[in-house]
Chain A
Amino acid sequence: MRKRNSIASMAMVLALVAAACGGDDDDGGGDALKEIGDGEGAVSILAWPYYAEDGTQDPNYDWVSKFETDTGCQASVKYFLTSDEAFTLFGGGDYDVVSASGDSSLRSVAAGDAAPINTELIDHYADLAPFLKEQAWNTVDGTVYGIPHGWGANVLQYNTEEVTPAPDSWGAVFDPESPYAGKIAAFDSPIYIADAAVYLMATEPDLGITNPYALDQEQFDAAIALLKEQNAILAEYWSDYVAYEDNYRAGSTVMGTSWQVVVNTLQADEPPTPVDSVLPKEGSTAWSDNWMVHSAAKNPNCAYKWINYITSPTVQAEVATTFGEAPANLKSCDDIGDHCDAYHADDQAYYNQLHYWTTPTKECLDGRTDVDCKDYAAWVAAWTEVKG
């Protein structure tokens, strides 16, 4: 009797689980918003660190408070540390907007998580740099899913007192004989395989890599071999930027791939932590971020209000100088002309040199049809092996 009971309850549980898991096959992103109505009083924002600061981390960094006063939408902000995390969290459906990089945006669109965006409701759309709008990573079949936010390159950061002479090549972090072995850092995400590929583009031209996200078996194997060799000279793989900053303050890491905002934060220390950054001669991987609205957003009106706010010239200027990136809204350069020049904000030729994060697919992104490329699932599996 007791046994039968437990089997019956087990079956009931399984039925519940099956019911909860089923019916999750929606594909379409639904319709774009027709007009921005009254705010819902709240908006939940999923963003890269420093994109939605409310002054708690640093009183000088605060543009969320003004948004809340202006619109009455209370913002709850969740930062993610990698694009994989962004894709997973956004898929959970708890967030209204996300600042997506190219290696998660198309996956979110394909998964039906992103809503088409009515660009007529975006106040500053006309002022955004033309080469950022309606591109492969934010627009699918003519439907816009992402509003450009800003872009920049991943840089090589180094301690100016410890690392001399200053490095000018990614070779500094891949050299197995490096004098800084044990104090070097790499980024903890499968997408970092592309950084190895960028270095191989310059140093091993025979491999014929033209796009670091389109790697056939041979090119992929070479990149993985380079990364496995690099593992021996690393202090850490970083994804927690706060811990990463601390390691430069403490001196346990002196060199590694980084974001300009980390360099800026360390230089703003009192006294300043002696770090600087360089865009190595091989070029670099880069990000070009877009704001996307969830297809089942609970607060679509506040979500549009947020996008309108964060892409406005003054806020763009604030975010771009804080984060160390090129703003999407070129009107913001009226205030921060020097910054825009330094980051080549309206320089399309410069923009085209960088290799923006995108999702690797089996069909080679560089247009080759005679070979299969490694898809992102293969990148993830290989990354596990690189870390060991």
Chain B
Amino acid sequence: MSTAAGSASSGRRAVARFFARHRRLRLGVTLSGPLLWLLVAYIGALAALLVTSLYHDETDATGLITRTVTDPALDNYRTILDTRVYRDVAVRTIGAAAAVTLIDLAIALPIAFFMAKIATTRIRRQLVIAVTMPLWAGYLVKGYAWRAILNPESGMIKKAFGVTPGYGVWGSIITLSYLWLPYMVIPIFSGLERLPNSLLEASTDLGGKAARTFRSVVLPLLVPSIVAGSIFTFSLTLGDFYVNRIFGGTTQFIGNNIYSNFGANLPLAAAYATVPILIMIGYLIAARATGALEEL
């Protein structure tokens, strides 16, 4: 009995001693679980996407069975480059993502500045909750709520102002701006919090007016935070499809197109899905140059 317990505890000690001597191995064992998950679920899915995009579908003589031919070829990419509608949809989506980012930036800057520099601690806490609160509600609930607000006949905006952007691309842009606003406010808020008040005071002492202080002191220091926020608003818009879908309209975003090709032509959908990935890789490389990735 005592020998069994003794050998078990000595076995445990041996394991502990082994890992104490091999620190790197200890780290490896600890991280292997999450890393494996990361590799399979994250990179694996991406790899499957890229591999699928090189396949192509062939319909057999009956026209009912579509077989995926796995000889790698660039046909899908050629189709996307050569077909006008795919270029148009990509340009429209990028434009919408840029518009959402600019709208969110214009709204987030003053809010974040007030939160970080003017509000009392109590109000600041309440504002942080207020800004993030919409994230507690479901995405679809908010989407359908905006349908009601923007309705071109009976919407709240139409009733209040007599005009409304209605549905379609602008409806989607406004709704997406609302959905992603917290992702822009929070990075800018934390960037401003880190900005020492003494810099603002120094600028004022040197005769700088508010606009000049903002342009020459605040904005340059804030660029990394803005870029960090824009990565969220830009990439989330590029990937969205449901808002555009329920806002009806008669045009599609990249996501809608991928969705409708998903059942009909999976390799083509996979190839088109690389477009937002490439755009975001370019965006991230540009963002790295500003040092914004350290803000994430």
Contact = CB atoms under 8 A, between A and B. Distances in A.
Interface of A: 9-10, 12-14, 16-17, 21, 84-85, 87-88, 106-107, 109-111, 185, 190, 231, 234-240, 243, 246-247, 250-252, 359-363, 375-377, 380-381, 383-385, 387-388
B85 interface: yes
A235 B151 CA distance: 12
A252 B246 contact: no
B66 A377 contact: yes
B261 A384 contact: yes
A252 B264 contact: no
Interface of B: 39-40, 43-44, 47-48, 51, 57, 59, 61-66, 83-85, 88-89, 144, 147-148, 151-155, 166-167, 245-246, 248-252, 257, 260-265
Contacts of B83: 385
A18 B60 CA distance: 24
B63 A359 contact: yes
Contacts of B62: 110, 361, 363
B151 A243 contact: no
Contacts of A243: 144, 147, 246, 248
A388 B153 contact: no
Contact of A9 (B39, B59, B151): B39
A318 B153 CA distance: 35
A115 B151 CA distance: 46
A377 B265 contact: yes
Contact of B257 (A17, A236, A384): A384
Given A235-B167, A239-B245, A388-B252, A87 B261 contact: no
Given A13-B40, A243-B248, 15 more contacts: A84-B263, A190-B264, A237-B250, A239-B245, A243-B144, A246-B148, A250-B153, A251-B153, A251-B154, A359-B64, A362-B63, A383-B260, A387-B250, A387-B252, A388-B252
A361 B64 contact: yes
B47 A84 contact: no
A376 B39 contact: no
B264 A363 contact: no
A388 B251 contact: yes
Contacts of B260: 84, 380, 383-384
Given A9-B39, A236-B167, A237-B248, A17 B48 contact: yes
A20 B146 CA distance: 41
Contacts of A387: 250-252
Contact of B48 (A10, A21, A109): A21
B44 A250 contact: no
A190 B257 CA distance: 13
A119 B171 CA distance: 51
Contacts of B61: 362-363
A106 B60 CA distance: 14
B43 A87 contact: no
Given A375-B59, A384-B85, A107 B64 contact: yes
B249 A236 contact: yes
Given A362-B61, A388-B251, A13 B263 contact: no
A111 B264 contact: no
Contacts of A252: 151-154, 166-167
A140 to B, nearest CB: 10
A16 B63 contact: no
B43 A246 contact: no
A388 B147 contact: no
A9 to B, nearest CB: 6
A146 to B, nearest CB: 14
